[in-house]
Amino acid sequence: MFVATALFLKDTVTPLSGGQEKGDGLGSRRFVYRTVSLDDIKLIKNGMKTTINDVVMGVSLAGLSRYLNRRYGEDKEDKGATEKKNNLPKNIRLRATLLMNIRPSPGIHALADMMEKGSKAKWGNWIGSVLLPFVIALRDDPLDYVRQAKATIDRKKHSREAIFTFFIIKMVLKLFGIKAAAFLYHRVPNHTTMCFSNIIGPVEEIGFYGHPMVFLAPSVYGQPHGLMIHFQSYINKMTLVLSVKEEIVPDPHQLCNDLEESLKLIKDAVIAKGLVEENSTKST
């Protein structure tokens, strides 16, 4: 799939893709964020017996489906009514590029340990990529988004896709040089729609020179995608950060609203179905 995407397999042209080559990613971008309760995400996780990764991807599926449905209905006369209808085309291919560090011994290591002969602590990062398919659709049951996300993530976990993509790039680098490897690696973001990331943050409050940090909202600049969705946890909060090209996503705050509303709908569905009590979140 990685090679096919690099060579010819492109995502469906949607309002989120811009319908053209994305370029080098060095143009202007807009960054917006929204902070939600991590306990709400854990409530869904515990109720559906999934992971936080499954939940945030499910929320993203739901939010993007709501947002795209609205964008596809913009040209229709009665916009208020069309938001409640299914305006989505069938068989949308929308994928996110997810970069992963596959280094055998991740984390921070002492310099002395890294210099020891035979040490498992290696220099630098080993970056592989995974292509996450986002099934864009309006669903009657909000929990179906999380179920779909879990099925996708479970399949990707068993595919070893990140390892294969890393070694493909490494082989191309050795055989054809840095330009060929860079060209191949750059083609994948140009043929996919967005970038997605979810990072676990500190579970206790941190600060700088006595000033406590209220929240974390990191993001990335330089990627060619018109949209990047980044989730960052910190203590009992989850911050959602969007990095967008305004010509592709002119209303990022609306997309934040759709993602936040999707989280609420999924949480309410978990409680309504009796999967978990509202005050029964656990710190797991």
Domain count, the chain: 1
Residue 16 is part of which domain span?
Answer: 2-105+125-272
281 lies in a domain? no
282 lies in a domain? no
172 lies in a domain? yes
pLDDT for res 283: 45
119 lies in a domain? no
112 lies in a domain? no
Tens of pLDDT along 96-143?
Answer: 988 877 776 555 545 556 556 666 555 566 778 889 999 999 999 999
pTM, full prediction: 0.85
Segments in the chain forming alpha helices (H): 2-7, 38-48, 52-72, 79-82, 111-115, 143-157, 161-176, 178-191, 252-272
pLDDT for res 148: 96
Q: Which strands make up the sheet holding 30-37, listed edge to edge?
A: 30-37, 237-244, 227-234, 194-199, 95-101, 127-133
Query: Which CATH number is 208's domain given?
Result: 3.30.559.10
Model confidence band, residue 272 (pLDDT cutoffs 50, 70, 90):
very high
Which amino acid, 268? Answer: D
Long-range contacts of 72-79 (CB under 8 A, 24+ apart): 72/15
183 lies in a domain? yes
Which amino acid, 248? Answer: I
160 lies in a domain? yes
